[in-house]
Amino acid sequence: MNSEQGAGPQALSFGDFRLDLRRRVLRTSSGQPVALTSRALDTLVYMVQHPGVLLARDRLMDSIWPDSYVEPNNLSQNVAKLRRVFAEKPGHNRYIETVPGRGYRFIAEVRTEATSGFPARPVAAARSTNDEATRLFRQALRLLQRPTADNCRLAVEQLESALALDNAFAPGWAWLADAHLLSVNAGIASPEVLHEAEQQAIRALELDPRSGTAHAVIGTILCQRGDWLGAESHFMTALASDETDSMCRTLHASFLLQQVGHTRRALAQLREAFVLTPDDPRMLMNLAMAHCNLGDDAEALRCARLAVSFGYPELASPLPFIFAHAAARAGRFGEAAACAVPLLAVAGGQLVVECVYRALGDADLRAGAVGRICDLTNRSLKTLATTSGLIVMLIHWLTQLGSVDRAFEVANRSLDITAQRGVRPPNWQALWIPELSAFRTDGRFGALAARLGFPHYWETFGAPDS
């Protein structure tokens, strides 16, 4: 839905609520944000911008779903969600009037307000001068919310086709960069693709220096090179350019704040992203990981299941990692092994996973499990070292099995390999989970953190939480 506000009013108040159009957030009179799905919020924005007007169902649906056919019941569900937020009871409507057989009318008095800052530029409102390019762009964004290997490849193809039709379409370049970045992080594309993503993000910034998506992509790539201060600068520019962009918050929290150990700040930022887009499966997956890192398995599982319900692939990283941790912490080691098997998709990986979780439940088996991990790393470390998150998973297993020496050996050898190949190191978000306390308090951790470049960030922005 195109809800771009331009120079018009940036906030609308009605009854006990205030709708911030620039940030796309509904708040109560006490200032508390109200979680709404993006389509329910689109429905509310359109209604509030047309107070007192009888809005036919077809008109509303064309405005909220301009590029796709949906069942009319979807609109009814959105209106029902809004009624629940407004605590409306049948026959006692303060906000939304239903006109049977015709449509809906927003009947509350609406007051306009002004706010400072940039006008809203939600992703869904981005349009090319070419209608076909716009259609391809929007389809690609929907595919990226469900990042299977096929969806990522198709999204890249559609964005490339959109740009062939409109080479000056800045959001197309920015999201093509994001699609390549996501493909690398999901293990679908090789790390060398990051250079291509960076060039596409730079092209987007040449066309639109305020592109928050492009700045966030470059910030994420700099994180993967260990340039944490440069990454922070790009993320701050992204957030200042568009305060409504939940993706910028998600990438900043997950790829910068969590990796350097600012775990609670990351969680707070992901919660802000949740308020902006509570139905975004990529955001929910990262929110689940943040709760997992803090040991809050109940909330981690809730967010992970929400991500799956909104279309995030259940076997896509890091969801198996989250499910495995929750099961292992509850002592369900067989279930944990079954969850973790998809993560270690290398020769002999399944046997290693099963040995590790049996050993976590039986101390007599630990030496054998450590041996299995060492055999695997001797055979496959070059592959594992450049696969998202796997090195930290091995570090985690070795530490829990009582082999901290081996854990540091694996960590340093993996960094040697990535330095030689000139590709990114694995993601280190899970380095801060409670189970790695013995690893972090070891005297060798300072040297490892220095190799990762963390102290440069800590000197400017403060020490890690733990």
Closest CA to 393 of 289, 247, 311: 289
Whether 81 and 149 share a structural domain: no
- From 206, 223, 242, the end of a domain falls on 242
Same domain, 146 and 219: yes
- Residues 256 and 258: their CA atoms lie apart, in Å, by 6
Is the domain of 234 the same as that of 327? no
**Does a structural domain hold residue 396?**
yes
Residues 97 and 216 in one domain: no
What pLDDT does residue 117 have? 36
Distance CA 251, CA 270 (A): 9
Which of 242, 276, 294 marks a domain boundary?
Answer: 242
CB 424 within 8 A of CB 195: no
* Structural domain count, the chain: 3
Examine residue 120 and state whether it is found in any structural domain, yes or no: no
Note whether 199 and 157 are same-domain residues. Answer: yes
Residue 123 pLDDT: 39
Q: What one-letter code names the amino acid at 31?
A: G
End-to-end, the C-alpha distance of the chain in Å comes to 43
Mean pLDDT for each 10-residue chunk of the chain (466 residues)? 45 88 80 80 88 86 72 81 86 83 87 50 61 91 86 94 95 95 82 90 92 93 90 89 81 94 92 84 92 94 92 86 94 94 80 94 95 90 77 93 96 88 75 94 96 93 87
Classify residue 292: in a domain, yes or no: no
Task: Assess whether 328 and 367 both reside in one domain.
Answer: yes
CATH code of residue 99: 1.10.10.10
Return all residues near 157 (Cβ < 8 A) that are at least 6 apart: none
Same domain, 175 and 107: no
Distance of alpha carbon 187 from alpha carbon 207, whole angstroms? 30
Alpha-carbon distance of 235 to 275, in angstroms, equals 19
Q: What angle do CA 11, 14, 18 make, to 5 degrees?
A: 40
* Beta bridge mates, 220: none
Tokens 């700040």 belong to which residue? 265
Q: Which long-range contacts (CB under 8 A, 24 or more apart) does 36-39 make?
A: 36/81, 36/82, 36/85, 36/278, 37/78, 37/81, 37/278, 37/279, 38/124, 38/277, 38/278, 38/279, 38/280, 39/64, 39/65, 39/74, 39/78, 39/279
Question: With DSSP H G I counted as helix, E B as strand and the rest as coil, what are the percentages for the chain, rounded to 5?
Answer: 60, 5, 30
Whose CA is closest to 96, among 41, 47, 145, 46? 47
Please tell me whether residues 326 and 435 are part of one structural domain.
yes
Within a domain: 265: no
Task: Say if residue 332 is in the same domain as residue 443.
Answer: yes
d(CA 204, CA 451): 32
Same domain? For 162 and 105 the reply is: no
* Strand runs labelled E in 35-147: 54-56, 96-99, 103-106, 111-113
Q: Is residue 119 part of a domain?
A: no
Q: Is residue 293 part of a domain?
A: no
The answer to whether position 394 is within a domain reads yes
Last residue of a domain, one of 186, 207, 242: 242
At residue 389, the pLDDT reads: 76
State the pLDDT at residue 424.
Answer: 63
**Does residue 370 share a domain with residue 327?**
yes
Residue 118 pLDDT? 33
| Same domain flag for 441 and 336 | yes
State the residue range of the domain holding 32: 11-113
Peptide bond into 320 cis (omega under 30): no
